[in-house]
Structure 1
Amino acid sequence: MSDFAGKVVLVTGAAGGIGSVSADRFADAGATLVVTDRKGSQLGSAAEALRRRGVQVSSFECDLADEGAAVDLVEMIRVTHGRLDVIDHVIGATTGLGQDGIVTELDADLWDSFLAINARGAMLLAKHSIPLLFAAGGGAIVFTSAGLPGFGDDQAPAHSAGKVALETLARSIATPFRKQGIRCNCVAPGLVQTDAVSKAVPDTRKSVTSAQTMSYRLGLPEDIARAALFLASEKAAFINGAVLLVEGGNLIHESHTAAIHELRNAGLGCQDKGKS
């Protein structure tokens, strides 16, 4: 597959998890890559692994919530590659996931850090990179949101608030820049099996989430990477300002559906009688 041959693709959060898998998939599709993350040693290892595959890749360690770092990243892309065609903005707040919780117990500094990474960083990246997309004749931006923001949750209010802001930002980018050929969409994953999730999310919550998911499993980084590639490609040319749920059907059903399925599978009935 060479959907991105001749294209320069920026993948953030590429040191591990969803971001590293997304970088691999864009590489498979022929892209020239720029990878960035705050985790310098892990990012270097990920970039070197791509180079061993023959991928043309540049890496840049930075914290995108720092405007100066965002400016420097975009300038590096301009000088090194001369263009930018796609942004797959995967990076999100993971440090502190275990402390994000009920609002009455929420630390204000943790709240600020989640919004800085999940929303401010995306805004600064868009602010400084969109002119480079203009210069290439247009391009696609994909933000990684989450399945939770549209629903009440007592486990991740800070995380969810940042992701709601991210989705609003995506629509605010898609609206004014359509004539310049800029599309901006979001992938909204459910619970995905990454190292960060393994460390921060208890096994009991993973089990409950899996049982409530109509695909009967948690997500994989590959699931999210494939969705991002689709939204970034010409196959999605008429999709703009959208939020694509990639969560296995966890949020599509009534709250009691999974329990009824279990009862039915156990031979305990729960059939609706008399319905034609």
Structure 2
Amino acid sequence: MGRVEGKVALVTGGASGIGLASAQLLAKEGAKVVIGDFNLDGAKEAAEAINKEGGNASAVFLDASKEESIKEAVEFTVKTYGTITVLFNNVGLTNLQKDLDVLNIDLDEWDRLINVNAKSVLIGSRYAIPYMKEAGGGSIINTASMAGFASDAIRTAYGASKAAVIHLTKYIATQYGQDNIRCNGVAPGLILTPAAERNMPPQVLDIFKKFNALPYNGAPEDIGYTVLFLASDESKYITGQTIQVEGGHYIANPSITDFNDFMAQAKQN
């Protein structure tokens, strides 16, 4: 208990999945938490559940596509708890129907994903940093993605936007480190959020697991614990980094799984 005692955190996209798991862990470890989400009812429900467990949480509407909404969420946090010392820029969108390959991608969808996935990180940080300076420092944490490191057959805009988040993280860390403000990213691989389990066929989930170094897919709490670490003073000498939390999916030669299958078959023969 108490790993982030006395800290005040705004978690964007905190009503479900990675954001919810992170908000719950931050509150459990002593932070006062504001859950910002487009789904205000879900955010209120999450905050109420945290409060029933003895934490301290509030909810605020947040539309990550609109600068004014992000500003209002930051100001709500400061008005409610007196400051903001942790900002978890977690909102992110993807669209498998429109975010296709370079020749076929919907250009309006490109603009939308870049705006929400990358620009919202910039805006959230812009409005939180002055308050963090007043507080003597803070920690900004950005949800990137392994799609920002590795390319795919589709999701061109998503990958480009997350690559932007990874590099923007370095810029924020460089520009505000002397103010005792750290900025780091977390890059999830496949995480079994409710949305992933709802939208991805079991066969696809099995494909991801097949190529992991570990024998399972990730859970929202796996990202949440990384966020908790980056929010805490345990990581006080870490900044500008993006931690890859992906079960070892991307560490090996991509042929290793098929090679192992080949060798196992050869032994049987």
Shift of 1:261: 2.4
Q: What are the within-5 Å matches in structure 2 for residues 1-276 of structure 1? A: 1-94=1-94, 96-264=95-263, 266=264, 268-269=266-267
**8 A Cα contact 1:100 1:157, kept in partner:** yes
Shift of 1:155: 2.7
Shift of 1:138: 0.3
- CA distance in structure 2 between the partners assigned to 1:136 and 1:72 by the alignment: 19
- CA distance in structure 2 between the partners assigned to 1:237 and 1:200 by the alignment: 37
Matched to 2:122, the amino acid is M
**8 A Cα contact 1:64 1:124, kept in partner:** no
Matched to 2:210, the amino acid is A
Which blocks of at least 5 consecutive residues in structure 1 are unaligned? 270-276
Q: Higher mean Cα deviation, 81-90 or 179-188?
A: 81-90
Q: Deviations over 1:181-206 (max 9, x none)?
A: 01101100001111222344343332
Which blocks of at least 5 consecutive residues in structure 2 are unaligned? none
Q: Higher mean Cα deviation, 102-111 or 174-183?
A: 102-111
Q: Deviations over 1:87-129 (max 9, x none)?
A: 12221114x2454222222111221121111111111100111
**8 A Cα contact 2:117 2:162, kept in partner:** yes
Q: Deviations over 1:72-95 (max 9, x none)?
A: 11221222211111112221114x
What do you get for the CA RMSD once the two structures are aligned?
1.6
- CA distance in structure 2 between the partners assigned to 1:127 and 1:74 by the alignment: 10
Aligned residue pairs total 268
- CA distance in structure 2 between the partners assigned to 1:193 and 1:132 by the alignment: 34
Q: Secondary structure at the match of 1:268?
A: helix
Shift of 1:70: 1.7
- CA distance in structure 2 between the partners assigned to 1:132 and 1:27 by the alignment: 20
Shift of 1:219: 1.1
**8 A Cα contact 2:191 2:217, kept in partner:** yes
Q: Deviations over 1:221-273 (max 9, x none)?
A: 01111111112221111111001100000110101111122334x3525xxxx
Shift of 1:31: 0.8
**8 A Cα contact 1:86 1:139, kept in partner:** yes
Q: Would the alpha carbon gap of residues 159 and 202 (structure 1) be closer, same or farther in structure 2, given more than 3 Å must change?
A: farther
Q: Which has the higher helix share?
A: 2
**8 A Cα contact 2:209 2:216, kept in partner:** yes
- CA distance in structure 1 between the partners assigned to 2:154 and 2:91 by the alignment: 20
- CA distance in structure 2 between the partners assigned to 1:10 and 1:250 by the alignment: 30
**8 A Cα contact 1:13 1:37, kept in partner:** yes
Percent sequence identity over matched residues? 34
Q: Higher mean Cα deviation, 171-180 or 198-207?
A: 198-207
Shift of 1:41: 1.6
**8 A Cα contact 1:98 1:200, kept in partner:** no
Q: Would the alpha carbon gap of residues 103 and 203 (structure 1) be closer, same or farther in structure 2, given more than 3 Å must change?
A: farther
Shift of 1:207: 1.8
Q: Would the alpha carbon gap of residues 226 and 141 (structure 1) be closer, same or farther in structure 2, given more than 3 Å must change?
A: same
